[in-house]
Amino acid sequence: MEKDDEINKEMIKKGFEERYRKIFGPDYDLFLEYSFMFPRRAIRVNTLRGSIQEVKEELCKIWKLEPIPWCKEGFWIEGERRDIGNHLFHQLGKYYVQEPASMIPAIALGPQPDEFVIDMAAAPGSKTTQIAAMMKNRGCIIANEIDTKRLKMLNSNLQRCFVMNTIITNMNGIAFANKKMRFDRVLIDAPCSGTGTIRKSFLTLRMWNERMIEKLSRLQLRLLENGFEILKRGGVVVYSTCSLEPFENERVISMFLKGRDDAIVEEIEMDVKRDRPILEFEGERYDNEVRKCLRISPQRNNTDGFFVCRIKKK
């Protein structure tokens, strides 16, 4: 294990280290330590298929369940057996194996039954299934995904979880602005560099480079602008990434807010330990409103790192 750690830490590029030392300051080593830890497993009870009580009683026979403070359907799973995806209750769609930080964006979105919602980048469907459960399978969700290969997984997760209020589309998210549809809520769980999820795949470190960050941040801004465009007045858009890059997070929000007086960034009240959003990076000062965004790094709650911003349209 120790040897693996050493090998993996050698994967860290110089540019990455410099950048993340600036982001985390004295917490940089702690960030790395948690980024190399084995992820804690967790589930979210799918209330479309089973009750929290029923799932808890069944899984307690094998595992120890610990509630996730910010998601009442979420539990950390402890125990020797690692195959939580093989349990019959999983096959029956009674729970979804989901990283606890990734449960936050749908909660921040707050979808209600009978609303019209779009999940702009939906595969493999963890947040679509969560939104459908929050909507009690009522109203309508458009689950959009650009990557045809990822549609199969999205489709099978929706079926397994008994989701009945969702239409899958296979479009570029930025093309929705040309359509006449207007939504009550829009989720943009954007494609990102994934630097909050190094513990899940060390490939993230190998792939990381500054050009990729610039390219992603341009796409992310376009997705957010388009998502806001297709919102009804009074509607809510949530922008999230599992990246800890200011260029993919605070800077995207700051650029989006420029010259807009119809967008209000809202606080996200949640029982989760958080980092201070970054207000200045690489000589650029960001909009003060980014203070209201939720930024968490792995070392805060022993979860993936995530960034979430909730914006209301006036």
Applying CB under 6 A, the residues found at the interface with ligand SAM are 102, 120-127, 144-147, 150, 172-174, 189, 191
Tell me how far, at minimum, the Cβ of 189 lies from ligand SAM, in Å: 4
DSSP one-letter code for 275: B
**Conformational region of residue 127, where left means phi above 0, alpha means psi within -120 to 50, and beta covers everything else:** alpha
Nearer to ligand SAM among residue 47 and residue 226 (C-beta): 226
Closer to ligand SAM by CB, 126 or 301: give it.
126
Angle at 71 between CA 90 and CA 265, to 5 degrees: 130
Query: For ligand SAM, which is the closer residue by CB, 20 or 176?
Result: 176
In sequence order, the 6+-apart residues with CB closer than 8 A to the CB of 121 are 144, 145, 146, 173, 188, 189, 190, 191, 223
Q: Closest distance between ligand SAM and the C-beta of residue 21, in Å?
A: 26
> 63 or 188, CB closer to ligand SAM?
188
| Identity of residue 41 | R
- Cα separation, 249 vs 15, whole angstroms: 19
The least CB distance from residue 128 to ligand SAM, in Å, is 7
Question: What sign results for the dihedral spanned by CA atoms 85, 87, 92, 96?
Answer: negative
SS3 266: strand
- Alpha-carbon torsion angle 252, 302, 112, 120, nearest 10: 40
- Closest CB to ligand SAM among 44 and 63? 44
Closest to ligand SAM by CB, 8 or 169: 169
Q: How far is the CB of 262 from ligand SAM (least distance, A)?
A: 23
Catalytic residues: 242
Q: What angle do CA 200, 83, 69 make, to 5 degrees?
A: 65
User: What phi and psi, each to the nearest 5 degrees, are found at residue 186?
Assistant: -130, 125
Query: How far is residue 187's CA from residue 44's CA, in Å, rounded to a whole number?
Result: 19
Give the CB-side neighbour count of residue 141, counting CA atoms within 13 A.
32
3-class DSSP state of 272: coil
Q: How far apart are CA 284 and CA 148, in angstroms?
A: 37
CA angle 158, 164, 168 (to 5 degrees): 55
